[in-house]
Amino acid sequence: MQIKTKQIVAVLLVTVVLALVCLAQALPFLFAKFDFFQRLEAITYDWRVRQATRHTATNATNLGFIFMDDNTVEQLSRGLLGESFGLLWPRQIYGRLVRELTAQEAKAVGFDVLLSELRPDHPAIELPDKSRMPSDEFFADQVRRAGNIALAADQEAIPAELFRTNAWAIADVSIDADSDGISRRVYAFKTYRVWNPLFKALARKHGLKLVEDARAVTFLDSETDKEELKIPIDKNGYFQMEDLTGKPSESGAARLERAFTELRIWHMGLRLAARELGLDLDNAQIDFKSRKILVPGKSGGIERVIPIDGQGRFLVDWNLTIKDPRLTQQNLESLLVQDLRRTASEPAGLTNRWRGKVIIVGSAATGSNLTDLSATPLENKTYAVSTLWNVANSVITGRFITRCPYLFELAIILCLGAISATVTWTLRPPWTSLFVIVLSAAYVLAALVLYIRFRYWLPIVLPVAGALLMTHVCTVAYQVLLEQRERRRVKDVFSKIVSPDVVDELLSAEKLSLGGARRIVTVFFADVRGFTEMTDVNQARADQFVRQYQLSGAAAEAYFDQQARETLATVNVYLATIADTIKLHNGTLDKYIGDCVMAFWGAPLANEQHASNCVRAAIDAQRNMHALNLERAAENQRREKENEARVARGEPPVPMLPLLSLGTGINTGLVTVGLMGSDAHLLNYTVFGRDVNLASRLEGVSGRGRIVIGEATHQELLRSAPELAATCVSLPSEKVKGIRDAVKIYEVPWKTDGMATGDPGKAATPG
């Protein structure tokens, strides 16, 4: 029952630990701000991303980066194009770049530059025919002519209508970092709300911001958020012009206008990759239930299945840094110079390295307002534009990151937790800890290999730190508590019946059976002879004393109690002498049976010398009893002299100290040994069986001051202590109660030459 209880507690402990781990896994879904373990997991993910870059991976070879850096800013300010331009470059610069890339037959160009407003104040450009064209119009015209230009968009900065209507596409370039500030995933698309130009003009004129609120468009003060104007809209998103202008329609009929238009804007990297592969984003099938986007190919060509999360985001396969040689790179100013030569019909020095390339134009500046940095799993500080080519590379190569599903992660946690608990409970230290460590390392290695080869994100933190290690630690802690409790139990049981050395051995033993086992032991019974006679004599003396001094009532009872205490003290002195001798010889003190002491050797710890140790203990016990009797005899001589003086004074004499002797029976054999009783009442570590009974019978045969052993004990002495066996004296076989046949017995001499002349125990026994 106790073992079953321990197992139930262990199972409950493991269940609680795994429940807490599962709760930690689920908390981010319940409380978005509680993402501590997810941040730790993200760190392990970043480590895997960095390790993956060390292994050869297939990458798109036609990706390119045209960058604007600090040198570009300096060159343009020095008049590279004939006049000096500050940081707010006129759009004609981008138009010149588009013209050059078109001449080089670039396949697709994505501008990571926000062009949300027109700048009519920028200087116009002089065309080859000497005419001049406004800067914004020139850029829009070149974008239209190219037919492959994607312009950057953000929720708050959509390209101006002039640019938007001439571009091949507008694409999202917003950065959505995780809670730790590191960009690991992007939205496949976002839904942009394009406000009516009248709303935008009004908001810009008065410094207001637009907010949709319950079938209305509200204009708020940009600083105080105070409501300035509210325009009602219907369920289809239309408003009445009269509500905005405050003037009735000339025709009398309500004039309706759309308050906004919603556009699905795909990520820039995805948009460029779709151009490269011929994917049809307009007919993409978005399935949030199965967490994927199916992008078909035009005319039945190649298709891509993009794994997404519940918000439409997918993990970026971070593989290309700005220093990667597979990424074609060139600075903006050198292409502007080529454009000048090409338009001036100067072919010298012209190159055509951008033919068929998918190009991203962005900032690599560090010391101006062109600086645009972010953190990625590969680098703590890098150019944000790197997200675009990594997304494009992932789509082109068809290499996407697949995150382990929630339920599968839950199953892994429960499985690893069960394995950890089972192994910890089954194996012994240090093998259990070694197994858990090896299993943890193997799991981490498997997670790394899965990512490198298949781009599969298998969680590490909660399965390893939570399920494996925490379950192991808690189970080990519980085992330690159980072990300490068992050690205390063993110490409580044995500290009073064996020597301290034996207790220490018991506590350090790896295996110890206290619940019942068969052992070959040597059993010792020693009875204090003369105790009954002493009790009778003391009682008679007490009666005589009470009558002589005419004591009655409480006084008589007090005297009888005093005599009882003295009687008990006397027998305890003899029993303690025997018990101390047993412990000194590493025996196990079983119990006191009245004035008899029972002990045994060979359990709980195995002892090859159990018979010889027991016999030597019996010899020393007899000698110690003899020495004790000599001391008490000497004390009696002193009391005799004292009593002469007391009698002369009429005082009662001091009683003599009783001198007792010892009879010992020893036998060896196969017995049952274990704890008898219950924890709730009384426990006794004892032995029982036929050979135990025989030892008890031999004690009855021994008489006073003798040690009698059985034949089995004598045979053990012949094996383990032949010199001791040689001293034994064979006695006639004895018929004892409970044993059918007469048993062969031996007597073990114990007296030395100095003891042979007398036995104070026999001479002075009261009677």
Q: What is the 3-state secondary structure (H, E, C) of 238-278?
A: EEEHHHHHCCCCCCCCCCEEECEEEEEEEEHHHHHHHHHHC
Walk across the sheet containing 304-307 and list its strands: 285-287, 292-295, 304-307
Q: What is the pLDDT of residue 215?
A: 82
pTM of the model: 0.67
Phi, psi of 534 (to 5 degrees): -65, -40
- 146 touches 182 (CB < 8 A): no
Find the mean pLDDT for residues 349-358.
91
What CA–CA distance (Å, rounded) separates 679 from 760? 44
Q: Is pLDDT above 80 for 395?
A: yes
Nearest in space to 613 (alpha carbons), one of 634, 654, 582: 582
Q: Which of 53, 51, 52, 89 is nearest to 68 (CA)?
A: 89
Dist. CA 386–CA 69, nearest whole Å: 14
Residue 763, pLDDT score: 39
Arithmetic mean of pLDDT, 702-715: 95
pLDDT above 90 coverage of the chain, percent: 52
Q: Which of 674, 691, 671, 675 is nearest to 683 (CA)?
A: 675
The tokens for 38 are 């997810």
Q: How many other CB atoms are found less than 10 A from the CB of residue 165? A: 11
Write the secondary structure of 473-486 as one string of H (helix), E (strand) and C (coil): HHHHHHHHHHHHHH
Mean pLDDT of 660-675: 92
Q: For residues 103-128, give the mean pLDDT.
A: 93
Which numeric CATH code is attached to 516-763?
Answer: 3.30.70.1230
- Please identify which residue in the block is written with the tokens 């494996």: 468
For residues 255 and 262, the answer to whether their CB atoms sit within 8 Å is no
Q: CATH 3.30.70.1230 spans which residues of the chain?
A: 516-763
Query: What is the enclosing helix (H) or strand (E) of 416?
Result: helix 406-426
Q: What is the mean pLDDT of residues 522-527?
A: 96
Q: What is the pLDDT of residue 10?
A: 77
What does the pLDDT average to over 667-681?
Answer: 80
Percent of the chain with pLDDT over 70: 91
HSE, side-chain direction, 13 A CA sphere, residue 484: 6
Among the residue ranges 6-20, 83-97, 149-163, the one predicted with the least confidence is 6-20
Q: What's the pLDDT at 278?
A: 93
Residue 200 has pLDDT above 70, yes or no: yes
- Rounded to whole angstroms, the Cα distance separating 613 from 584 reads 10
Burial 547-579 (b: 16+ CB within 10 A, else e): eeeebeeeebeeebeebeeebeebbeebbebbb
**Per-residue pLDDT reduced to its tens digit, 119-151:** 999 999 989 888 999 999 999 999 999 999 999
Judged against a pLDDT cut of 90, whether residue 242 lies above it is answered with: no
Q: Supply the mean pLDDT for the chain.
A: 87
Q: Are 22 and 413 in contact (CB under 8 A)?
A: yes
Q: Categorize the per-residue pLDDT at 598 as very low, low, confident or very high, splitting at 50, 70 and 90.
A: very high
Cα separation, 735 vs 741, in Å, equals 7
Cis peptide before 377 (omega within 30 of 0): no
Mean pLDDT of 545-572: 84
**Confidence band (pLDDT; 50, 70, 90) for 651?**
confident
Compare 510 and 200 and report the one with higher pLDDT. 200
Q: What is the pLDDT of residue 32?
A: 65
pLDDT, mean of residues 513-520: 74
State the alpha helices, DSSP H only, in 314-400: 332-343, 386-397
SS3 654: coil
Is residue 483 predicted with pLDDT exceeding 70? Answer: no
Structure tokens at 370: 């062109």
Q: How many other CB atoms are there within 10 angstroms of residue 246's CB atom?
A: 7
Which residues are bridge partners to 565 per DSSP?
A: none
Minimum mean pLDDT range among 150-159, 519-528, 659-668: 150-159
Q: Determine the Cα–Cα distance for residues 427 and 658; give it in Å rounded to an integer.
A: 59
For the chain, the distance separating the N- and C-terminal CA atoms, rounded to the nearest angstrom, is 53
The neighbour count for residue 472, using CB atoms within 10 Å, is: 24
Tokens standing for 544? 């005589």
Which of 19-23, 291-295, 665-669 is least confident? 19-23
- The least confident of 354-363, 591-600, 604-613, 648-657 is 648-657
Alpha-carbon distance of 461 to 25, in angstroms, equals: 10
Distance (Å) of CA 110 to CA 171, 214, 270, 304, 752: 8, 37, 11, 21, 113
pLDDT for 26: 83
Q: Is the pLDDT of residue 16 over 70?
A: yes
Residue 764 has pLDDT above 50, yes or no: no
Tokens representing 710 are 């059985």
Query: Quick one: angle between helices 36-52 and 431-454, nearest 10?
Result: 60
Q: How confident is the model at residue 492 (pLDDT cuts 50, 70, 90)?
A: low
**Cα–Cα distances in Å, from 733 out to 17, 328, 336, 730, 743?**
68, 110, 125, 9, 5
Interhelix angle 406-426/2-30, rounded to 10 degrees, is 150
For tokens 């192991």, the residue is: 472
* Nearest-angstrom CA–CA distance, 244 and 242: 5
